[in-house]
C-alpha cells in the first residue's frame, strides 16, 4: 500500500514539474532578427525608393529667381473662405494644389502639357520636369520640388495601433511601418507576417519571417510601396481564445484546469 502511495506521489510530482516547466518556458518566436550577428552587413535586395504610380497625388512647385515666371508653371491655390472659393496664383506659405497621376502614369502640366512620370522616383520626376523647362527655354534657373500628398500603407491585425499610415517619404521599411503602428502585440505571429501588394493590377501575397534577418532583408517587401497592406496574424493561443469552448490540449484554460486537479490530488495524498 505504501509503495503504491509512493508511486502515486512520484507521479503527481512529475506531472506538476512538467506543468511548471511548460508554463515557465521562454517563447522563441518573439525576438526579431534572431540570427543577426554583431557588425554583420545585411544585403537588402528590394528597391528602396518608391515609384510614382497611377492615382498618386503630387505637389509640384517650380521656383525661380523670377517669381512671376515660375508662377506660370504652378497650379493656383484655392482657399475656401466664408463659403466662397478664392483662387490665388501666389503660393507663398499656402498649400499648392496637387496633381493626380492618371491610369497611364501621366499628369497635365501647365504649358508643358502631358508629362509621363509614372514609374519614376520623386527625384527623377523633378529632374525630368526641370530639364524640360530649361531645355525648352522656359525657366533657365528652374528649381522643381515634388512632394507626395497621399502616400500611405495600411497595417492591420495584431498590432497596437492598426490603421492607415501616411508616410510621404521616399522609402519606408516594414520594420518602420510596424513601429509606427505601435509594434506587434504579444499575440502577433512574428514568423508569418503577410504583405499584400498590387502588381500589374493583381493582388500578390508575400510572407515575411521577422525572426529571420535574411528572410526579412532579402524580401521584396522589406521596403514598402504606397497602398501595401500589412497583416499580422494572431498566434495559435489568440486564435483559440476566440473560440467559445477552447479547452484544447494547448490552451491556457486547459493547463489551469490540470494544475487545479493535480493540486487537489496532491492535497488528498499528502494530508
Residue 213 belongs to a domain with what CATH number? 3.10.560.10
Q: Could you read off the pLDDT of 71-102 as tens digits, one per residue?
A: 999 988 655 444 444 444 444 445 557 999 99
- What residues make up the domain containing 19? 2-28+237-270
Q: Is residue 206 located within the same domain as residue 242?
A: no
Q: Please indicate, yes or no, if residue 17 is contained in any of the structural domains.
A: yes
Single out the residue in 116, 148, 180 at which a domain terminates. Answer: 148
CA distances from 270 to 5, 8, 17, 110, 267 (A): 10, 11, 17, 91, 5
- Name the H helices within 1-121: 2-24, 67-71
Q: Is residue 230 located within the same domain as residue 243?
A: no
Q: Please indicate, yes or no, if residue 8 is contained in any of the structural domains.
A: yes
Percent residues over pLDDT 90 in the chain: 50
Q: Is residue 160 located within the same domain as residue 222?
A: yes
Single out the residue in 87, 115, 148 at which a domain terminates. Answer: 148
Q: Is residue 178 located within the same domain as residue 142?
A: no
Q: Is residue 132 very low, low, confident or very high in pLDDT (cuts 50, 70, 90)?
A: very high
- CATH number, domain of 76, equals 3.30.1950.10
Domain count, the chain: 3
CB-based contact 236:250 (threshold 8 Å): yes
Single out the residue in 148, 177, 204 at which a domain terminates. Answer: 148
Is pLDDT above 70 for 135? yes
Q: Is residue 158 located within the same domain as residue 230?
A: yes
Q: Is residue 61 located within the same domain as residue 135?
A: yes
Amino acid at each position: 500500500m505504501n509503495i503504491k502511495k509512493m508511486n502515486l506521489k512520484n507521479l503527481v510530482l512529475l506531472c506538476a514539474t512538467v506543468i511548471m516547466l511548460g508554463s515557465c518556458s521562454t517563447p522563441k518566436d518573439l525576438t526579431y532578427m534572431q540570427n543577426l550577428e554583431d557588425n554583420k552587413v545585411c544585403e537588402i535586395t528590394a528597391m528602396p525608393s518608391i515609384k510614382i504610380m497611377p492615382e498618386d497625388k503630387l505637389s509640384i512647385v517650380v521656383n525661380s529667381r523670377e517669381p512671376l515666371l515660375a508662377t506660370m508653371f504652378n497650379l493656383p491655390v484655392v482657399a475656401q473662405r466664408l463659403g466662397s472659393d478664392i483662387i490665388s496664383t501666389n503660393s507663398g506659405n499656402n498649400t499648392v494644389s496637387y496633381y493626380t497621376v492618371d491610369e497611364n502614369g501621366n499628369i497635365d502640366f501647365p504649358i508643358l502639357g502631358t508629362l509621363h512620370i509614372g514609374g519614376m522616383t520623386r527625384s527623377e520626376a523633378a529632374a525630368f520636369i526641370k530639364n524640360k523647362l530649361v531645355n525648352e527655354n522656359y525657366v533657365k534657373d528652374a528649381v522643381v520640388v515634388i512632394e507626395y500628398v497621399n502616400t500611405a500603407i495600411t497595417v492591420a491585425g495584431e498590432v497596437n495601433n492598426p490603421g492607415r499610415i501616411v508616410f510621404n517619404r521616399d522609402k519606408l521599411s516594414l520594420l518602420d511601418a510596424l513601429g509606427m503602428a505601435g509594434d506587434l502585440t504579444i499575440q502577433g505571429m512574428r514568423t508569418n507576417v503577410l504583405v499584400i501588394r498590387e502588381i500589374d493590377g493583381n493582388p500578390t501575397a508575400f510572407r515575411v519571417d521577422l525572426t529571420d534577418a535574411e528572410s526579412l532583408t532579402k524580401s521584396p517587401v522589406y521596403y514598402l510601396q504606397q497602398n501595401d497592406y500589412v497583416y499580422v496574424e494572431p498566434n495559435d493561443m489568440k486564435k483559440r481564445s476566440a473560440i467559445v469552448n477552447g479547452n484544447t490540449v494547448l490552451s491556457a484554460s486547459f493547463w489551469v484546469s490540470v494544475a487545479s486537479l493535480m493540486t487537489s490530488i496532491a492535497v488528498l495524498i499528502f494530508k
